[in-house]
Amino acid sequence: MHKRLYIIILALFVSQLVYSQFSIGVAISGIGYHQGKTETEYFKWKLSKNGKLTGFASISILFSYQFNDYIGIKALQSFIISDCIGNFSGITHIGVDLHDDIIGWKNQKNQFSMTFGPFWYYRKNWLKKKEYKPNTCFLKQSENKVWEHKFVWYGGQIEYNYYYNSHNALTFNFLPAIPYLYTFSIGTKFKY
């Protein structure tokens, strides 16, 4: 009885390894939208009159591992070289990656996925700006007051991939940091 169970588990595991796909991607970001009441007078790269649409400079590295047509795991590391006031920031995210095959959409060139899982946001403290009033509900300060940070268990990311050949894709990513910020990025992805 146990021997059969081990053989079944081994067969399922091997079948998953045979199907699995690893991909790596790089994206650049530069547009964010601040929702709600936001003090934008100290934003460096305002793209709209009210300052809610802002620019920033970042590069993200994405790693994903697809177990089957429906589910995988994804890790994202964003290095925000210059946020909307010109400081360094970062985002670290890992989550379960759900693919569009779940809803029955089978299209080799156009693929969507949504990732759900925790993310950690951190940035150099904005207290150098005299106009800045810290929002302690949003960010906590480090003990040395150099960093501000927030850890969220329920983060997410939406990705659209346009595969221009069987291994390479142009990617568009949307990261909703509800209710504070929405960011957009564009990049490329290579599937092994």
Domain containing 176 — which CATH number?
A: 2.40.160.20
Token pair 């969507």 is at which residue? 112
Q: Tell me what pLDDT residue 18 has.
A: 47
Could you tell me if 182 and 175 are in contact, meaning their C-beta atoms sit under 8 angstroms apart? yes
- According to DSSP, the residues that pair with 18 across neighbouring strands are none
Average pLDDT over residues 90-118: 85
Into how many domains does the chain fold? 1
The one-letter code for the residue type at 35 is: Q
The dihedral formed by the CA atoms of 119, 124, 57 and 184, expressed in degrees to the nearest 10: 30
Q: Give 187's pLDDT tier (boundaries 50, 70, 90).
A: very high
Distance CA 117, CA 95 (A): 4
**For residue 125, is it within any domain?**
yes
Distance CA 190, CA 192 (A): 7
26 or 143: which leads in pLDDT = 26
Which of 116, 57, 136, 54 lies closest to 89 in space, CA to CA?
A: 57
**For residue 2, is it within any domain?**
no
Average pLDDT over residues 72-91: 92
Q: Tell me what pLDDT residue 127 has.
A: 82
> 144 lies in which domain range?
18-191
**For residue 1, is it within any domain?**
no
- What is the pLDDT of the chain when averaged over all its residues? 84
**For residue 164, is it within any domain?**
yes
Q: Is the pLDDT of residue 118 over 80?
A: yes
**For residue 7, is it within any domain?**
no
Q: Is the pLDDT of residue 103 over 80?
A: no
**For residue 6, is it within any domain?**
no
pTM for the full predicted model: 0.80
Half-sphere exposure of 133 (CA within 13 A, CB side): 5
What burial class does residue 76 get, using C-beta atoms within 10 Å of its C-beta: 0-12 exposed, 13-18 middle, 19+ buried?
buried
**For residue 145, is it within any domain?**
yes
36 or 19: which leads in pLDDT = 36
Q: Is the pLDDT of residue 106 over 80?
A: no
**For residue 53, is it within any domain?**
yes
